[in-house]
A and B are shown apart, each in its own frame.
Chain A
Amino acid sequence: MRLATFKKGGVHPSDMKSLSNTQPIVRFPIPSELVVSMSQHLGAPATALKAVGDHVSKGEKIGQASGFISADVHSPVDGTVTAIKKVTMANSVCCDALVITPDETQTDPFTERRDYSAMTSADLLAEIKDKGIVGLGGATFPAHVKMTISPGKAVENLVINGVECEPYLTADHRLMLEKPYEVLEGIMICRKILNPTNTIIGIEANKMDAVEVLSKAISEKGYPITVMPLKMKYPQGDEKQLLKSTINREIPSGKLPLDVGAVVVNVGTSYAIFNAIAYAKPLFERVVTVSGECINKPCNLIAPIGTKISDLIAYAGGFKTEPDKLISGGPMMGFAFFDEDTPIAKGTSGILAINDKKSYVKTACLSCGRCVAACPIGLQPTKLYALITNGRYEDAMKNNLMDCKECGCCSYSCPAHLDLVHAFKTGKKMGRKK
């Protein structure tokens, strides 16, 4: 069977999923301390609503969205705020965080299902905003902003992202296997808001069990959803490539999925939306894959935001061998960090402890062209690299540098081990300076 995929560029790293894809999701026990950052999302950090000494209850709003692109933050536990300090998250964002010491006993709210059939799309959107739902695929874009369709635009295709193309990560896979009905109901809620003509779930071929489970649940419930298995290729989970693979539309440069009549939602986000609407549960915990060759017992954990990564690693059995790299996210686009006490956030899909197999020696660019062949956007990384390292930032911007999604396909392919993505990040910062 020929599976759909995108044609231009892309690479095929080994998926390394077998380390954790058979590990069922386990609830991580509440740790002794949580550091909940006010920046759990793209956009402006939330404003803290609590002060030192305040008692907070599980699900209580502790951060207020500040600005159009922002989101609320809710407390993951019943506890006391013991400090407010600056924290540097794995993605280098530095902001205020509430340090919360959880109570000895925790309540268990949000277990009663409510009837939401009377809620209109406006009600649903308001609830999604109120519960702090952001995109859990990694970008953490506030969901209520994404799903507010400006007048004059229509959603033809709702595409659900079950691709999880980053190596090692298995959180979405396990979620689809273990909570298919919940994920599907979340998708149906999105359908009510967006009213699309078609609803498609894109899943890569290394997760055929998830394809089967979801297809079965769909036919049982009679939902108007299609499951589309896709050929494995990185970065298929990126919304541009996903839309190309599923509906064969290419988002123009600088535009959004809505400009090709589509909205893309991650399966984890769908699950969070389901919880928000059916159980009035805010987003304060998520599935995190703790994996890598250096981890003793790779696993998939439901952990509250603000959990220190050192606690997660300890739960996963600690380090088998000393890792070369600690990564928040996936190895292609994730963030390498060094402070083990860094807390996780809504966007933390995985914590990886891996070894760099060789020590890479950087040589000169050979103009081999592999980066050009690998770039899914059709850029010329070698040319951009030469321009940026020579300080010609404006010329780099003229050569479509801003279209670069920093997916890492070029760096992955480079035989000279050039730091291409680093250069592009620098170039973008410098090129945007006036």
Chain B
Amino acid sequence: MYSVSAALAPSCIWGIYVFGFRALAVLLVSIVCAVLTEYLLGKINKEFTICDGSALVTGILVGMNMSPTIPLFIPAIASIFAIAVVKWTFGGLGANWANPAIAGRVFVFFSFSSVMSSFKLPRTLAAVDMVSSATPLSLVKTVLSAGESSGMTSIQILANNGYLATPFAMKVQQATGISAYNVDAFLGNIPGCIGEVSKLLLIAGGIYLLCRKIITWHIPVSYLGVYAVLTWIFGGLPFGLGFFHGEVLSNLLRGGLILGALFMATDMVTSPITHKGMLIFGAGCAFFTFLFRTFGSLPEATSVAILIMNIVTPTIDRFCIPKRFGEEVKQ
């Protein structure tokens, strides 16, 4: 479990760097509340489980999913809900029915929607004189639902609405043609939740976990792969661009998708136990993420998608029984 915390650390450090000490405060509150809840509930149950590192991971993930400007009581509630309700009322480690961090986040998201949706400019973009502090996804959604643009890609929408990019990203765009917005999204120079912005560091953490064989490739590859395909085929529809015109790279890099696919969907307790089941699970997460993002009214869909698939996991397990060794007996 401590390896997972280590894999998450670089992204958290970046989040603190670009969003300031407020972000550190949010992370600390989430972690402390998670570990404290685990400790106190352990005392009631006469167990001592905070050393297995799972409460720490839940706390970090809850903190990473918070906006840096959030009032501190909200991550506290999220952490406490995650540990006490999702994990302990159902039997503790190994018995939770949904990823605790995801369930905690969704709980506070629907309870405190407006503060959960207000973000802050990262240090690297604030220097560029940008106007809006909305995340790229939410800005695009607002513009689309206002019906103000048809036939424009999301990149064009961002450009039209005064979304700026860092000078470094502009240089990369000039050199390689990759949109500066995508470069910024990859590096982590966009508003968003503390831990979700730096895709680069998240992917590094994910590769570390893969090399340590803590996660297998099945869920991330299936999740991101199916999502990419769905986006490519259908993603252009809300923009009036027709089929096969979805912006795969932009959509992969935005929002909590990479964080979700690498660290939340791969939570072992709430994902299937067979490789075949994991592939189905990843595909299901991708389907729901795509559905909610593209045609839903909320900008962030990853959490709810993973939550739904967590609930479906036991059914997937029931139908994905490994093939038993041995030929059929010829009668």
Contact = CB atoms under 8 A, between A and B. Distances in A.
A377 interface: yes
A366 B324 contact: no
Given A372-B273, A373-B275, A382-B273, A366 B93 contact: yes
Contacts of B271: 367
B325 A367 contact: no
A243 B308 CA distance: 43
Contacts, number: 75
B298 interface: no
Interface in A196-244: 240, 244
A260 interface: yes
Interface string B45-69: 0000000100000000000000000
A255 interface: yes
Contact of B324 (A244, A369, A382, A403): A403
A25 B252 CA distance: 62
A8 B325 contact: yes
Contacts of A8: 322-323, 325
A299 B320 CA distance: 47
Contact of B328 (A249, A252, A364): A252
A379 B16 CA distance: 46
A342 B71 CA distance: 68
B92 interface: yes
A206 to B, nearest CB: 22
Given A252-B329, A255-B329, A366 B323 contact: no
B273 A369 contact: yes
A400 interface: yes
A150 interface: no
A260 B327 contact: yes
B325 A240 contact: yes
A400 B324 contact: yes
Nearest to B51: A361
A369 B268 contact: yes
B325 A369 contact: no
Contacts of A368: 268, 273
A380 B273 contact: yes
Contacts of B93: 363-364, 366
Interface string B256-279: 000000000000111111110010
A290 B19 CA distance: 62
A121 B325 CA distance: 34
Contact of B326 (A252, A363, A367): A252
List 8 tightest A-B contacts by C-beta distance, closest first.
A369-B273, A364-B94, A368-B268, A252-B326, A378-B322, A378-B324, A377-B325, A253-B326
24 contacts: A250-B326, A251-B327, A252-B329, A253-B324, A253-B325, A255-B329, A364-B91, A364-B92, A364-B95, A365-B94, A367-B268, A367-B269, A368-B273, A369-B272, A369-B278, A372-B273, A372-B322, A373-B274, A375-B322, A376-B325, A378-B322, A378-B325, A380-B273, A400-B324
